[in-house]
Structure 1
């Protein structure tokens, strides 16, 4: 039995156990708080604490289920890898780091899981050892390191309370003005991990990792860690902090949706859709509904994991060609994969009665029924329309349009392990949304709105569908002709975020370093320091060498030295 099958079976059984445990905890309103005393120094105990409630158990069951499918999927996708066992162990460490963060009510153990996610994600991003992967890995690691520093600073600030278990102080944090600083640091850390503006550049760059890793990262582990941390700290967030979070997440949602409509890299389009959905989760959290945010977090994890797995199956057969313009008519060659790919895209767009619809429609109706300004309202609905647009555009390029790859190709659904792992997720993508809505909401939500506002969601989906179809079909030149090249580059490059995160930050430091090296280190320091000292020593040694060689000078200095000694006596 292969190592992939062993790990996948183990994680699958654990996910079922945790899922049914979460149902029991939810029905009985149970919360278990466990503390383990590791050691004591001078009557100061070091305690490891874990929290088990319905939220942590349900989320961890989803993480383990998706991980089990991804590991089984990897047994075929990474079949030619010589170090497959190392790859599986890295994924297992990644999942364990996420579980440590999920079950931690303590900032110290959260930091261990948080740092573990950052370190293992760096190892996975640079798995294909080349220059592009190395650059993407450094950008990912350094962006996440900013969040690690914020968590470390909040740990230091939490010494004021005498305990790092934040779960006991959530009500007090809101009332204590000085401790709002902790919440700002937590918000900063969550924004770096969930890639909100201005830390968005690392998420598309992390696509350098193998596709099974992308499937895991973008669905339920790395990027959702920030959202989950905010959900845990939700009851401590003040109105000012929530307003700031709302603005940042709405702009991120709009920017990612707009950029995905101008992108041609298959994995980057799906990565930008993840960024857009993360903005949606954090924005609805900032509007005051942490349960809706958690609902969308779970439903999004299902179809996003499967979307990446379908994309990986297509890329695997196309020799890792990621440009969607080379694809097309995949439905004729890979009908099973393309059927699941279409269902995932429709679920992402919010088509009725798929898993994405239940959370997105509820969120949009919640927005329509609230007291919001026009800017936020338009941001939500335009971003939803853009989501449908790039989903339909992706389906058009991959499934409907003409096949543009090499004439010598071999495409089929002949990978048994990849198909089984994808089929394991497709039923949850179709039926998971209604199940989750029944589980999470004890009383069904009914939002009473005027007819026009009620139909607004369907109108936006329809308009996004038409725009996506038009922008990717023969009329594409009409849309592009109305925009100049700088505007297109600005939108497709995520508002120049990659340049601001890399070249814009390090250019001046490197430039000043070059000037310092040229004029100071190799200039005046060289002239007045080592080089000057060398010349002085050369002159002195040549002078003394001349004295030693000339007997008259030597005797004269000897007489002067004897006279000097006699005079001093």
Structure 2
């Protein structure tokens, strides 16, 4: 008998083929544009002046960055769709879920392909709205709270980008390429500040970091997309596109914020017991490293690490989701053990993704992350900042190997374990296509991408002393991560001694209170007061009822009375025209005469 597929599986594989075809097409576009030169780009501008009165254009930019990014997003999304058919096999509204995920991918691609901030807001706001719908997908109070925190944090970025559009249109015009012309230093600084702060909201930099772990309330396939190649990378992509506005004090500020965010996420991951949040914190730390590279001017390296990270982080989330599914939803990493015996294929790919995350030599992460660390270290002669950069290597390897040690250790008393042993092989067989599809790219992307793109071939000359220190800090972090797991007595005493700092780290420095409850309540009070005092009273009752409204009502009555007679209407229109010309002449002679 042949294989039988359910309706959900047929739908998932159909969407997989659709997304894979888009990925292949944009990768072909990338190869064609690369063959014409790295600086070659194609702009298709859709003019809407025939449809509306105002001349408005909708530009679409095809260059090696946008085409390669869209190809990567579609490739990852295609395998996530296949994974969803197994992970959410009992979901009643699976078609609705697939539709939301597809909208999420479309919004991300619109953001990537639009060079104009005015049209880019379509994809930016689309990501915000659809991400809220996906976070609250399970429809409980926790998911709703996480969704509100996510959407309110991202709305700050919307406001900043609207300010960016207003200032750029007022100073430079409506053309999307107007930012490339010479501008005043003050205008450039204001626009750069809007870009940096707006990008920080989507990339979850301090103080907007609390929404990222909260977004784990979404289904695991959504988390694989959000934390690999879509939502959190949107802020990084905007910073890359407008990097010419980020200089001077803005670069220094972005560097400090990215380092602070990295250590916030890294130290939090060292004490986190929720396996899904642990992987989310690792994403936050790697996004901070991309922002750090942008602040130092290594834009191509940041994009290189963004693509490599997208592949191995999506693979890591699929492996973690498989472990959670087979353990009946257990997310406490202390209750999971002996994974290589129970899920050998999943465990193998999890090890691959962790090695890429740590930057183990000759893995994909080594070619992107290690070059960023070397490049940043090469920009400093030494001192405390260099020590902080080396600490990022130690922290990453520590929390990564701590997670592996907890998952691979022997079972303990109270371990929930994994049940229904005979079904493991069947489940792994169902997940194998997604794991192999993403795992293949996670293995080869670090070596293949620099061979295809000349801008990613960055050679950093660093002393043997610094290279040895990088490797030494990696080994120390690996030992520290395993030490935290296997030396239980020391670990228990350590946690008791520093219980308050651990609680402080587990709650993300209590940033959720700042970015969620406190900021949201204060903003709502301010807006409600503005609406009550300004809009409802002054504009509605004073200005309109007593002033402009009376004049408009009188002119309307006068217009209706004159319109009854054709000759009177012509006289009325002529008088209005002469009055307008007279007022314009008076204003001109007063100010410019």
**TM-score bracket relative to the smaller structure:** 0.7 to 0.9
Residue number among 316, 320, 343 corresponding to 1:334 in the alignment: 343
Aligned partners of 1:511 and 1:171: how far apart in 2? 40
1:280 aligns with 2:289: yes
Superposed CA offset, 1:175-223 (max 9, x none): 5422421221111110000000000000000000000000000000000
The residue aligned with 2:568 is none
Q: How does 1:299-448 map to 2 (within 5 A)?
A: 299-371=308-380, 374-402=383-411, 404-406=414-416, 409-411=419-421, 412-415=424-427, 416-441=429-454, 444-448=457-461
Offset at residue 374 of structure 1 (A):
2.6
**In the alignment, what sits opposite 2:118?**
108
The correspondence for 1:119, drawn from 113, 129, 136, is: 129
CA separation of 1:443 and 1:429: change in aligned 2, threshold 3 A: closer
- Residues of 1 paired with 2:347 and 2:320: CA distance? 9
2:203 alignment partner in structure 1: 194
Q: Match for residue 11 of structure 2?
A: 3
Name which of 236, 244, 253 aligns with 1:235.
244
Q: Which runs of 4+ in 1 moved over 6 A?
A: 507-512
Aligned residue among 167, 170, 176 for 2:180: 170
Q: Is the 8 A contact 1:115 1:148 kept in 2?
A: yes
**SS at structure 1 position matched to 2:48:** strand
Provide the residue aligned with 2:586 in structure 1: none
Question: What are the superposed Cα offsets for residues 29-67 of structure 1, whole Å, 9 maximum, x if unpaired?
Answer: 220011111244786312111100000000110000000
| SS state at 1:264 partner | coil
Q: Which moved more, 1:199-208 or 1:473-482?
A: 473-482
> Number of matched residues?
512
2:168 match: 158
Q: Which moved more, 1:236-245 or 1:268-277?
A: 236-245
Partner of 1:128: 138
Aligned CA distance change for structure 1 residues 489 and 466 (closer, same or farther; 3 Å): same
Q: CA deviation at 1:485?
A: 1.9
| Secondary structure, aligned partner of 1:51 | strand
Higher Cα Rg, which structure: 1
1:417 Cα offset (Å): 3.5
Contact 1:126 1:208 (8 Å CA) reproduced: yes
Matched, 1:17 2:25: yes
Measured on the aligned residues, the alpha-carbon RMSD in Å equals 2.2
Worse overlay, 41-50 or 95-104: 41-50
TM-fit CA distance, 1:170: 3.1
Structure 1 residue aligned with 2:63: 53
Structure 2 contact 294–302 (Cα < 8 Å) conserved = yes
Task: Provide the residue aligned with 2:86 in structure 1.
Answer: 76
Structure-2-length-normalised TM-score: 0.82
Contact kept? 1:349, 1:384, Cα under 8 Å: yes
Retained in 1: the 8 A contact 2:46–2:57?
Answer: yes
Where in structure 2 are there 5+ consecutive unaligned residues? 1-6, 527-593
1: CA distance, partners of 2:129 / 2:407? 34
Distance, in Å, in 2 between the alignment partners of 1:291 and 1:131 is 42
The yes-or-no answer on 1:495 pairing with 2:495 is no
Gaps of 5+ in 1: 513-569
For 1:498 and 1:413, the matched residues in 2 are separated by 41
Aligned equivalents of 2:27, 2:452: Cα separation in 1: 11
Q: In the aligned structure 2, how far is the partner of 1:386 from the partner of 1:479?
A: 21
Q: Equivalents in 1 of 2:374, 2:395: separation in Å?
A: 18
> Does structure 1 residue 261 correspond to structure 2 residue 270?
yes
1:218 pairs, out of 221, 227, 237, with 227
